Amino acid sequence: MGEGIKINAGLNQLGMRSIGEQLFNKLLPGLNNVSSRIRYYSFYCWLFNRFYEGIEEAKVSDFQFYYKKAEYLLALINSDKTGIPGSTYAIKQKAVLQNEYVLDAGVNGDWENKKYWKNPGGVFTQYYVRSLLDIGIIGSIKDANDMPTSLYKPMSVGIDLAASFEESVTKDKADKFLYIVQSGVVKQSELNELSVAFDMRSFPENSIERSLLVELLLDVDYPTKEFSDRNRQRTIFYLLEYADTAVTPIRDLDFVSYMYSRFHNSTVRDNTLWGWYAYFINEDWQYQSSFVFEELIDTFLKKKENGRWVSIKIITEDMVQVICDYLDVPESTLLCEVIDKIDDIESPKDDASAGIRQLLYNYRQNLEIQKELASLRNAFQALSNDNYFTFMQNISKRTNESFGDFLRYFIVEEIIYRHYQEAFRKMRVTGIATQKFSLEGGYIRYLADVDTTHSSPRLETLIEFLNDLGIIENDHLTPYGKQILKKMNHDKSA
């Protein structure tokens, strides 16, 4: 990683967020962080189903051109709503053209400000295809060699969704929409005509389409597999319970904290509780560690004076002294003694000392859980071994060391070398430089700042889905939401 390489901001600066990504995919399959409008699920099923009417064989290019024009048309219809892919471009076009819009131009233009979507596969390929495949409502058409292609058709549940979508929008409006897609030109009056039927944020009252989408979310995680968990269903159950009792707005990190507390207060723990517990503790590991990383960079900037390189030893010793002073703990104190009295130790501010204190507090609180980790491994197989529980084992090996020596280990091994290894891994895979410092011969040189941020559990997508489905409104359960929660409670006890 030589000089002259552009440094990009790296969200996973310590490599600690990978476990959270893996857990999210296990806990909420069929969702991702960008597919915020659930009505696209039924829309694509309908759109693809209609594409194959009267067609025995299709070309990928024709298929993609068809659905990309439909996506752009949807963006024009819904340009006044949030969470609609392509709406930014649609708004610009409306400001300029005002009356008539050529769909072909919006799909085929140069990507920079001249077409609705940069990805050549459109919104579907970038945002939705993986989720719709996972949740089992579409499938890839195989070629002559039995290999999957970029042609997709609705599966059995998807066919039901397609029919329900057309029923919701009405046959006349559905035909009108597809006529416009085929013609490639739409007038503002036609957009107005379709605005209610093709509103991607709402459903007709008591529609079959809405009921089928709710059933889909509450089904097993992978409906097409013979054996499948119900982590998505259970997460929704816990979220609805939380929404039914919460006095504050529903926030994803608050819900994850609630799940962590619920895990510790439960004698019977299902796989979903285990998963969200593991998500919380691993997320807090990366968050608190990032405070120490941020302090490392700040210490370097204070110590560099006129030189560009500063000794790791100088930075480490300075940080050890500062952390010990802030926590009012002599560095010669045994680590086990610090852990034993962690409740009595306070940090005056959110910084490296607060991060270290919280990491040790979490260690003590979760020490007994280590004996039950087989339950987590059985429920979530193939998770990365680089996780908070491995870090706990490293702490256990060092409890008879001094607190100062533990801090030296943590700063050098868990921050400096961990970050550098992660930056090199990213460089090999992506060619993008994300390192925050150069490292050579026991010295480091500053390259970029560090931010301490939470990684998102991406529950916003699920919350948006539940809002669109009329289950949650203004951070509270609607009567329909209470009805669903009551049924889930009944099914649980049956």
Nearest residue to 279 via CA among 314, 231, 246, 319? 231
Q: What is the pLDDT of residues 263-291, one digit of tens each?
A: 999 988 899 999 999 999 999 999 999 99
What the block records as the tokens of 22 is: 């893996």
Provide the token pair at 371.
Answer: 């004996």
What are 4-46's pLDDT values in tens digits? 333 333 468 898 888 888 888 889 999 887 878 999 999 999 9
> Residue 235 corresponds to which tokens in the numbers above?
């997460």
Return the SS3 of 149.
strand
Give the H/E segment covering residue 325: helix 312-327
Residue 1's pLDDT is 32
Say whether pLDDT at 3 is over 50. Answer: no
Q: What is the pLDDT of residue 48?
A: 98
Average pLDDT over residues 459-479: 93
β strands within 408-492, DSSP E: 437-440, 443-446, 472-473, 476-477
pTM of the model: 0.89
Which two three-digit tokens encode residue 407?
């801090």
Identity of residue 41: Y
Q: Is the model's pLDDT at 356 over the cut of 90?
A: yes
How far is the C-alpha of 223 from the C-alpha of 86, rounded, in Å? 30
Q: Which residues face 148 on adjacent strands?
A: 142
Burial of residue 371 (CB within 10 Å: 0-12, 13-18, 19+) is: exposed
Quote the CA–CA distance of 141 and 48 in Å, as a whole number: 12
Say yes or no to pLDDT of 457 above 60. yes
Q: What is the pLDDT of residues 238-252, one digit of tens each?
A: 999 999 987 778 888
Residue 2 has a pLDDT of: 35
468 and 40 Cβ atoms separated by less than 8 Å: no
Collapsing DSSP to helix, strand or coil, 31 comes out as coil
Q: Is the pLDDT reported for residue 376 higher than 90? A: no
Nearest to 387 by CA among 261, 283, 260, 271: 283
pLDDT category of residue 294 using cuts at 50, 70 and 90: very high
Confidence of residue 382 (pLDDT cuts 50, 70, 90): low
Please enumerate in sequence order all residues whose Cβ is within 8 A of that of 404, keeping only pairs 6 or more positions apart, or say none: 320, 324, 331, 332
Per-residue pLDDT tens for 308-335?
899 999 999 999 999 999 999 999 999 9
CB neighbours of residue 368 within 10 Å: 8
- What share of the chain has pLDDT > 90, as a percent? 66
Average pLDDT, the chain: 90
Residue type at 204 in one-letter notation = P
